[in-house]
Amino acid sequence: MRIRLLAISHFIDGKNRTEIASFLKVSRTSVNKWVSQYLNEGLKGLTEKPHTGRPALLPHAQRVQIKNYVTDNAVKPQGGRLLGKDIHTEFGVFYQKTNIYHLLHELNLNWITTFR
């Protein structure tokens, strides 16, 4: 939001959009979009809009189950080792490795690995 407000401030001061983009190190397309939103809707037009995207594979309740599954199985007296495929097997969904990291981050968990 700060960058958007700075862009509008420079626009009001008479700078052209190319200069603003160069000064703020953003694309001219972004500056054009922000200025248009400002001219059409005022400052309210600069607020972040909701992002759309593909819905999550797992509903909230299943995410809680995964968090419980990970914490219960990772902390065992004999040691625990979980793999991404364990989540696939247990919950019937497939995540790419990078998305497993994102899922764990969303659940306030960290991926810890050791080398032998």
- pLDDT value at position 98? 77
On the question of pLDDT at 12 being above 70, the answer is yes
On the question of pLDDT at 116 being above 60, the answer is no
**Domain spans of the chain, in order of start:** 2-46, 60-106
On the question of pLDDT at 115 being above 60, the answer is no
pTM of the model as a whole: 0.47
Q: Are 50 and 42 in contact (CB under 8 A)?
A: no
User: What is the secondary structure of 61-103 as a DSSP string?
Assistant: HHHHHHHHHHHHHHS-TT-----HHHHHHHHS----HHHHHHH
pLDDT for 68-104, tens place per residue? Answer: 888 887 776 666 677 777 777 777 777 777 787 788 8
pLDDT for 57-78, tens place per residue? Answer: 778 888 888 888 888 877 766 6
d(CA 113, CA 115): 7
- Which three-class secondary structure state does DSSP give residue 114? coil
d(CA 27, CA 9): 17
